[in-house]
Amino acid sequence: MESMTDIIVVGAGPAGYSAAINAVARGKTVRLLSSSPSYLEKAEQVDNYLGFHQIDGASMMKVFADHALAMGITAETGKVSNIFAMKDQVLVNFSGDILTARTVVMATGVTKTKAVRGEQELLGKGVSYCATCDGMLYRGRKAVVWGQADDAAEEANHLKAIGVQITFITNKERPAGLHLDISFIQGALLEIQGQDKVTGVLFKTPGASGKDTVLETEAVFVLQNSIAPTTLVDGLAVENGYVAVDRHMATNIPGLFAAGDCTGLPLQIAKAVGEGLVAAQSAAKYIDEQKA
């Protein structure tokens, strides 16, 4: 476990960069974690952000990143699988490493993927989001990889290397880097089955002749680029599908703040940047009050 950071920011979009920059401005140590490029980078043109008329999203994100870099902040690329809030610290599972912080600001944006049926109910009972964390638990046993993330093939290969019997399922084509000895199924994962533990998955193959098929397995590694905030944090309150926050961007969990698109409408850059600032200032104040 590494040394304590004051504020960990999860998500490197406008809200995340704003939170990180303002946290450093308040004299706090910061780590900025990013699982995938911000959706803003794909915007052809931005016309509604004050001072940035007719700029493309990629250029705007570069300005944000350059500002952060000038303050000593560089986004770290990896995957946040879990966030555990404790009495006086928050633990963040980042690509298999456990990071510790006094507070966390979630700036995860809007998750485009929905949970598979049974996923949340069986989380920790055979469902995992981290191959490097939980892979050894299933050595010599059957496991399914639901491979939606960019690095899913790499993680599946790791599981095979440590002796897990892998079946790789994705609705995309077989990844070029997937080990040839790994069983591959092109289809859609519909349900993770089981009561107190995972017993199988239900999937559907493409095409008119495709049918629902059950495959027995003891584990399912759900590997996708983004994970819903409610899945990351147990007990996190939501409202209309978004993370519920007060005017200080505090969630219902002490030490955990949220900002940007994950907190709800309007999904606008200006709102995200403003909320990032408020979340950082609130997190810094929270730390100062805890030390008092």
Top pLDDT among 124 and 244 is at 244
Residues 73, 104: Cα–Cα separation, whole Å: 16
Question: How much is the pLDDT for 84?
Answer: 94
Count structural domains, the chain: 2
250: helix, strand or coil:
strand
90 within 8 A of 255, measured Cβ to Cβ = yes
The answer, yes or no, to whether residue 1 has pLDDT greater than 60, is no
At 93, which amino acid appears? N
Question: Pairing mode, if any, of strands 30-34 and 5-10?
Answer: parallel
Maximal CA-CA distance, the chain: 66
- For the chain, helix (H) and strand (E) counts, in that order, are 6, 17
Task: Flag whether 274 is in a domain.
Answer: yes
208: helix, strand or coil:
coil
Q: How many CB atoms lie within 10 A of CB 268?
A: 14
Task: Flag whether 121 is in a domain.
Answer: no
Task: Flag whether 181 is in a domain.
Answer: yes
Q: Give yes or no: residues 204 and 261 share one domain.
A: no
Task: Flag whether 83 is in a domain.
Answer: yes
Q: Where are the alpha helices (DSSP H) in the chain?
A: 14-25, 57-70, 131-134, 152-161, 229-232, 269-291
Query: DSSP secondary structure string, 121-162?
Result: TTBTTTEES-HHHHGGGGTTSEEEEEE-STTHHHHHHHHHHT
Question: How much is the pLDDT for 250?
Answer: 98
Residues composing the chain: 292
Q: How far is CA 206 from CA 134, 167, 180, 209, 211, in A?
A: 30, 17, 22, 8, 8
Residues 8, 82: Cα–Cα separation, whole Å: 13
The answer, yes or no, to whether residue 35 has pLDDT greater than 90, is no
Q: How far is CA 49 from CA 7, 86, 273, 274, in A?
A: 27, 38, 10, 12
Give the end of a domain, one of 169, 203, 223. Answer: 223
Q: Give yes or no: residues 204 and 236 share one domain.
A: no
Question: How much is the pLDDT for 170?
Answer: 95
Residues 67, 72: Cα–Cα separation, whole Å: 9
Domain range holding 176? 127-223
Q: Give yes or no: residues 99 and 198 share one domain.
A: no
Q: Give yes or no: residues 99 and 136 share one domain.
A: no
Task: Please write the tens of the pLDDT for every residue from 235-282.
Answer: 999 998 899 999 999 999 999 999 999 999 888 999 999 999 999 999
* Residue % of the chain over a pLDDT of 70: 97
Average pLDDT over residues 65-77: 96
Question: How much is the pLDDT for 129?
Answer: 81
Question: How much is the pLDDT for 134?
Answer: 81
Task: Please write the tens of the pLDDT for every residue from 202-247.
Answer: 999 886 566 789 999 999 999 877 677 888 898 999 998 899 999 9
Q: Give yes or no: residues 285 and 210 share one domain.
A: no
CA angle in degrees (0–180, nearest 5) for 120-124-129: 75
Question: How much is the pLDDT for 39?
Answer: 75
Average pLDDT over residues 3-25: 97
Top pLDDT among 184 and 267 is at 184
